Amino acid sequence: MSKEISNSNQVQRGLTNRHIQMIAIGGSIGTGLFYGSATSIQMAGPAISLSYVIASIIIFLIMRMLGEMCVEEPVSGSFSYFAKKYCGEFSGFMAGWNYYILYLLCAMSELTAVGIYINYWLPDMPQWLSAFICLAVITTANLINVRMYGEMESAMSVIKISAIIAMIILGIYLLFSNGTPCPQNLSNLWAHGGFLPNGWHGLLTSLVIVVFSFGGIELIGMTAAEVQRPEKVLPRAINEVIVRILLFYVGTMLVLTALFPWNQIGLDGSPFVTIFRDIGITSASHIFNFVILVAAISVYNSAIYSNSRMLYSLAKNGQAPKIFTNLSVHGVPILGIFFSSGITLIAVALNYIIPKDVFMYILLVTVVAIIMTWFSIIITHLGFRKAKIKAGLVETLKFKSLFYPISNYICLAFLALIVIEMCLMDSMRPAAYLIPIWMILLYIGFKCMKAKQNRDK
């Protein structure tokens, strides 16, 4: 055994309760909230807060399904492992590789966002250069050990949480103070076309972008094999998800749309930055640009972590090259980190070629991968619970999902609604068409893998 690569194929439980709480928060606060919310506000108006309430209920139900499985069997690469065990080999292959691609896309979108936010201060600095620097720093940090990832994510989550709470407090102060440069009042919530200015259709279309905002929250499941006392830590983290979402997302959207007319919130940057800039508080806009930059780096950090663990899990299950099962002496899948980080260099190239459009292009494909990931969790949970019922072990489950199986079907109906809305939107229709194409490509990949396995026998 060399100093760099260990023959052991077990990751280490280096994440504490504090790490998991911060990772859970960090996974739900990224550029989807800070940057993508501008698009969703244009679609729904002040009713964007209602969109987040609806989506938060759905994601909480899905997280409880995932939590039930992860607490019972805390393994690395949970999506792939559970899908293979309870729904068949192809399901495991599809869930694992789809999630891997999802987080590759998330990583690319966050790298793109890094360049956008750096340009706020340094407009002459190329976006691709900012993205490359971020890639190099985060990759190096992830190579050290899992605790380093946990500490970095904790620190960045503290910054994001503190900023959002401060923004909400400042926003409330501005709403009820007469001494501000641009005093506002709550009438912005209904004075510009009503609370639902674009009707219920606008609300439904906004849900497509809102789904992107929640992409990554299922990262908690990926940490199951590396967290200390998962049977106690994971339930607590998952149960607090709904509270965090209601505070950070719904509270934030209410404050933003009350502070400034929704139809004047532009798409040229984060609404957090532009709103405070436009009402004359320039220092606040600089602070929030820094926070949004931290958020982008945070999600990229999680993406590199998640992708390396998924490759490790797929390799252990025989669905990826065995070389990815090798770990460093600190229990880190070092080759998976290098490989995943290397692929995200594509985002650096895209930022060089089409810097203005790359974020929205990546967002379109990411929404598809998020929908398929959540779909696989719901279906896998149905198989998991069916197996437990057959074995008479339902009563022994330590952390049951809510309202089984009704909640499963409600969540499936919600995802179907999102796909229908995507088909009705000109900008999202190409992404909706990608779903069957992506399924076919995954199936071809699966058949090729099986053919190779048969040849090697």
Each residue's pLDDT tens digit, 345-363: 776 676 666 555 555 666 6
- Looking at residue 446, which CATH number applies to its domain? 1.20.1740.10
**What number is the average pLDDT over the span 290-317?**
83
**What number is the average pLDDT over the span 134-141?**
86
* pLDDT at position 315: 85
Q: How many domains is the chain partitioned into structurally?
A: 1
Secondary structure letter of residue 327 according to DSSP: B
**Among 38-47, 53-62, 267-276, 424-433, the range of highest mean pLDDT:** 53-62
What is the average pLDDT score of the chain?
Answer: 79
Residue 323 has pLDDT above 70, yes or no: yes
Q: Is 10 exposed, middle or buried (0-12, 13-18, 19+ CB in 10 A)?
A: exposed
**Between the CA of residue 124 and those of 116, 128, 190, 292, 365, what are the distances in Å?**
11, 12, 40, 19, 29
> Could you tell me if residue 11 is inside a domain?
no
**Between the CA of residue 322 and those of 128, 264, 318, 420, what are the distances in Å?**
33, 53, 7, 39
User: Predicted confidence band at 5 (pLDDT cuts at 50, 70, 90)?
Assistant: very low
> Could you tell me if residue 2 is inside a domain?
no
* pLDDT at position 36: 62
Rounded percentage of the chain residues whose pLDDT exceeds 90: 11
Kindly report, residue by residue over 248-273, the tens digit of the pLDDT.
Answer: 788 888 888 888 788 877 655 566 76
> Could you tell me if residue 9 is inside a domain?
no
Per the model's pLDDT, the better-predicted residue between 21 and 166 turns out to be 166
> Could you tell me if residue 141 is inside a domain?
yes
Q: Which residues lie across from 227 on neighbouring strands?
A: 15
> Could you tell me if residue 12 is inside a domain?
no
User: Predicted confidence band at 123 (pLDDT cuts at 50, 70, 90)?
Assistant: confident
* pLDDT at position 414: 95
Residue 333 has pLDDT above 80, yes or no: yes
Boundaries of domain holding 152: 17-451
User: Predicted confidence band at 330 (pLDDT cuts at 50, 70, 90)?
Assistant: confident
> Could you tell me if residue 356 is inside a domain?
yes
Per the model's pLDDT, the better-predicted residue between 133 and 170 turns out to be 133
**What number is the average pLDDT over the span 84-102?**
87
Residue 124 has pLDDT above 60, yes or no: yes
**Among 123-132, 252-261, 287-296, 395-404, the range of highest mean pLDDT:** 395-404
Q: What is the dihedral of CA 20, 21, 27, 29, to 10 degrees?
A: -160
> Could you tell me if residue 29 is inside a domain?
yes
* pLDDT at position 20: 66
Per the model's pLDDT, the better-predicted residue between 60 and 309 turns out to be 60
Per the model's pLDDT, the better-predicted residue between 364 and 122 turns out to be 122
Residue 201 has pLDDT above 60, yes or no: yes
User: Predicted confidence band at 381 (pLDDT cuts at 50, 70, 90)?
Assistant: very high
Per the model's pLDDT, the better-predicted residue between 381 and 292 turns out to be 381
> Could you tell me if residue 6 is inside a domain?
no
What is the pTM for the complete model shown?
Answer: 0.83
* pLDDT at position 109: 74
* pLDDT at position 62: 92
Residue 8 has pLDDT above 50, yes or no: no
